[in-house]
Amino acid sequence: MKKNCCIVKLVCVVVGLAATVCSSAAAAGQLVNAVYVFGDSLVDVGNNDYLPAPAPRARSPYGYDLPGRPTGRFTNGYNLADIISQRLGFEKSPLAYKSMLLHEKFLLVTCNIGANYASGGSGILDTTGNGTLTMSTQIKYFKRAVDKMVCLPSKEAMLSQSLFLLSAGGNDFSAFTGSINEAPAYIANLVSTYIKHIQSLYNLGARMVGILDVAPIGCTPGQRAGMPDGECNEVANSLARWFNSLFRIELAGTAAATMPELRYSIASNYNILTDMMANPLVAGIREVQTACCGAGKFMAEKMCGAEGTGVCADNHGEYMFWDMLHGTQATCERGALAVFYGAAPRYADPVNFSTLVTMKKKKKGSLVAEQ
């Protein structure tokens, strides 16, 4: 009964609010000064296009449903960084940092625009990924910009009014080759390292942080293709749940101790996608197991764009997954609505993104919503 209740809440967010939220986002104006994005392929908008091999690149047919494709995004259209930015009143994600021209970097250091530092294939750990921008490197690039910033009324004020969006962890589990007995130590290291990254951003001026937790990685088409009956890999899912739970506990404690002005929201990619899979038709999704782009079992035995792969002929918006790992634009749109307006703590903890961006500065350990 509790699970069905959660699904109903998600459906209300996705279906009932979609029309009013989509029509009002742009009219409401920009809710934050800028957006700064860090993480992996769920939010990369083209940094990997400027990296040499073996960094993965989102070549055609990625970007299939956007003009001028491909766009460096690992999906058919806009990704979560774009859609979250749109909810905040921007046209799309800030530019990929690696793509910025001189005048754009000037706008960055005068606090007129944000930047997207995310790199597909990267993770929380520096050892995750092959040729990608590690999260440590991404933060170093951001520090270079911060060191040069001259902003009005002040650098500190402008950064405190900006959203820092983070997405990481899934690739770290793909890179994990240890036994289940080694998982606790690995997860503990992931959590502590991730919090150190957040602390580094806080020290550089971040005060408003939105975090996407690890999705149900065992239910991707790529994982299903390797299972005997095409079911979800519950071992992988249990590791994701374990990480998500520990991360919430440790971040709350560390924030209280060393980041007193931090306001944050941890969006539950895990619960949002799990509930959409449980009742896809009501959420507006027809296919939740098979990818739209790829080849073989579940269209997931070859990565989208590789030789011998193809794209589904059906409406791409009816698919949850674009390739063996990444959601479609439609999935991102539905997920972002739940992130912004879904009930806490099921879909965001301790508050949703909508509440986060309307909060005043933290005072004496409490968060106060704008009146």
168: domain CATH number is: 3.40.50.1110
Which segments of the chain does DSSP mark as H helices, in order?
2-11, 18-24, 80-87, 102-109, 135-148, 155-160, 170-174, 183-203, 221-225, 234-258, 269-278, 329-341, 353-356
Q: What is the pTM of this model?
A: 0.91
Question: Is residue 17, in this structure, part of any structural domain at all?
Answer: no
pLDDT reading at 268 higher than 60: yes
Q: Name the residue type at position 217.
A: I
Binning pLDDT at 50, 70 and 90, where does residue 361 land? low
Other residues' Cβ atoms within 10 Å of the Cβ of residue 70 = 18
Question: Is residue 370, in this structure, part of any structural domain at all?
Answer: no
Establish whether 326 is a catalytic residue. yes
Question: Tokens in use for 71?
Answer: 């766009």
pLDDT reading at 148 higher than 80: yes
Question: What distance in Å separates the CA atoms of residue 76 and residue 67, rounded to the nearest whole number?
Answer: 11
Q: What is the pLDDT of residues 290-345, one digit of tens each?
A: 999 999 999 999 999 999 999 998 799 999 999 999 999 999 999 999 999 999 99
Q: What is the pLDDT of residue 283?
A: 84
* Greater model confidence, 10 or 135: 135
Q: Which of the residues 93, 197, 326, 349 is marked catalytic?
A: 326
Q: What is the pLDDT of residue 185?
A: 98
Q: What is the pLDDT of residue 274?
A: 97
Name the domain count of the chain: 1
Q: Which of the residues 44, 213, 275, 323 is marked catalytic?
A: 323
Q: How far is CA 251 from CA 103, 116, 191, 197, in A?
A: 37, 23, 8, 11
Question: What distance in Å separates the CA atoms of residue 309 and residue 303, rounded to the nearest whole number?
Answer: 8
Q: What is the pLDDT of residue 276?
A: 96
Q: Which residue has tokens 């690739």? A: 171
Q: What are phi and psi of 267, to 5 degrees?
A: -80, 135
Q: What is the pLDDT of residue 12?
A: 47
Question: Is residue 21, in this structure, part of any structural domain at all?
Answer: no
Question: Is residue 365, in this structure, part of any structural domain at all?
Answer: no
Q: Which of the residues 40, 41, 44, 122 is marked catalytic?
A: 41
Domain that holds residue 188: 2-11+30-356
* Greater model confidence, 22 or 324: 324
Q: What is the pLDDT of residue 156?
A: 97
Question: Is residue 364, in this structure, part of any structural domain at all?
Answer: no
* High-pLDDT (> 70) share of the chain, %: 89
Q: What is the pLDDT of residue 71?
A: 95
Question: Is residue 371, in this structure, part of any structural domain at all?
Answer: no
Once rounded to an integer, what is the mean pLDDT over residues 345-362?
91
Question: Is residue 296, in this structure, part of any structural domain at all?
Answer: yes
pLDDT reading at 366 higher than 50: no
Establish whether 41 is a catalytic residue. yes
Mean pLDDT of the chain: 91
Q: What is the pLDDT of residues 193-218, one digit of tens each?
A: 999 999 999 999 999 999 999 999 99
Q: What is the pLDDT of residue 29?
A: 86
pLDDT reading at 133 higher than 50: yes
pLDDT reading at 17 higher than 70: no
Question: Is residue 369, in this structure, part of any structural domain at all?
Answer: no
Q: What is the pLDDT of residue 10?
A: 55
